[in-house]
Amino acid sequence: MYSSNAGTLQHFAYEGLTPVLDADDYCPSIQFPQLHSLYLSYLDDVIPLLALFEPPNRRSLTLRNFIACPSRPTTFDDDDQTLPDHLFATAPDQLLESLGRWSSSLRELEMYGIDDVPEEQTALYLRSLEHLETLYLYGRGGAERFAEILFSQGVEDGFEAPLLPKLTCLLCTAQNHHERLDLQAYLSIRTRQKLPRLEILILNINPYSFLLAAVGSLDFLKDASIVLKAVSNPVQFQGVLLEERIMILD
């Protein structure tokens, strides 16, 4: 079915378990020359799904670990006997390797609840995203690892080189206080390098009382973005909708 629409398909969305193939089955990757947007909400190993799509012209990618960060209310939990035993089978290093195929064309990357990923590979992957304009880091694990690397790797050997120089929209729900402080340093480096202000900055406002106490003011957030928004703390398993609201800082 997909091969017959390969020449015209522009957006593909899938939610569920990765289809299981028999050992004798072979499912080659398919060229989708017009496919610009890919949304995968997975419950187990997402890599076989990623492997089906050749990378040319891929501009937008959304990965959602449905178990850790469902897109809608669910009734299952860790003890649900209806789920297969091989959940959470996505290997973090292989995931970054698969994502690396799309670095040159990717403009939008959204990650919700993905498992933790290796630090060194994450840094290399972020450096490859030279054209990325939108980045959503929602949840714990891998999202917080990406935030940690993004905010702390702005200075190397005395030369300021902020990651993601084309970034215009950033959502981050990191709760670790070091990451919140590093966010200030990252935004300061962007300013000193005369990079444009972020068009949209979306943060988890709940833990920012610590940051206010540490730096005395949150004006740097307003100075670094044209529109400043807030989202609620990520809630695991409940399928809470991601609602963005304007953040007002006194």
Element (H, E) at 97: helix 92-99
Q: Specify the pLDDT at position 237.
A: 45
pLDDT tens column, 130-179? 999 999 998 888 988 999 888 886 555 455 667 898 999 999 887 665 55
CB atoms within 10 A of CB 248: 9
Q: Specify the pLDDT at position 24.
A: 53
Q: Specify the pLDDT at position 27.
A: 61
Q: Answer yes or no: is pLDDT of 80 > 80.
A: no
pLDDT tens column, 81-132? 455 544 546 788 888 988 888 788 899 999 998 888 999 999 999 999 999 9
Pick from 102, 88, 95, 97: which is nearest to 35 by CA? 102
The beta strands (E) that lie in 76-127 are given as: 108-112
* 91 vs 237, residue with greater confidence: 91
Sheet with 225-231: list strands edge to edge. Answer: 11-16, 37-42, 60-65, 108-112, 134-138, 169-172, 198-204, 225-231, 245-246
Pick from 3, 12, 65: which is nearest to 31 by CA? 3
Report whether 108 contacts 52 (CB < 8 A): no
Q: Round to whole Å and give the CA distance between 2 and 129.
A: 28
Q: Round to whole Å and give the CA distance between 8 and 227.
A: 35
Q: Round to whole Å and give the CA distance between 167 and 225.
A: 11
Q: Specify the pLDDT at position 136.
A: 94
Q: Round to whole Å and give the CA distance between 61 and 95.
A: 13
* 40 vs 18, residue with greater confidence: 40
Q: Where do the domains of the chain lie? A: 3-246
Q: Answer yes or no: is pLDDT of 212 > 80.
A: no
